[in-house]
């Protein structure tokens, strides 16, 4: 049985960052599925609008003291101020959507 709520639940998907130092950094984004028309409308408004709407949370984002940074809109807006993070989030969301289209909703969480 399919219920619309099943597709509306935020799903984990990895975000991979390359800061140019030879290290790969990852955390897990919790993405909300959005239909194609909504994604197109948000994309026209810019990357920030898309991420602010679709991102429901994260896991594994830490500060310099290695403390977990709780997800909230202010922290998200702060991170979106870094172009490398904004780009990684957008790429993760589109990769998440491709995984939904392929029927692979349950990607492993990266921590």
pLDDT digits (tens, 9 = 90+) for 49-62: 999 999 999 999 99
Q: Which of 3, 14, 9 is nearest to 95 (CA)?
A: 14
Give yes or no for a contact between 45 and 52, defined as CB atoms under 8 angstroms apart.
Answer: no
Q: How much is the pLDDT for 4?
A: 59
- Six token digits for residue 57: 């949370």
Which pTM does this prediction carry?
0.85
DSSP code, position 87: H
Domains of the chain, residue spans: 10-101
pLDDT tens per residue, range 58-80: 999 999 999 999 999 999 999 99
């Amino acid at each position: 049985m399919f219920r619309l709520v099943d597709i509306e639940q935020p799903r984990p998907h990895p975000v991979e960052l390359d800061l140019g130092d030879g290290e790969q950094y990852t955390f897990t984004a919790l993405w909300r599925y959005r239909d194609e028309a909504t994604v197109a409308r948000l994309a026209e408004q810019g990357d920030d609008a898309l991420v602010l709407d679709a991102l429901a949370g994260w896991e594994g984002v830490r500060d310099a003291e290695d403390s977990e940074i709780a997800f909230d809109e202010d922290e998200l807006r702060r991170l979106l101020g870094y172009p490398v993070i904004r780009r990684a989030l957008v790429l993760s969301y589109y990769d998440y959507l491709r995984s939904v289209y392929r029927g692979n909703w349950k990607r492993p969480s990266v921590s």
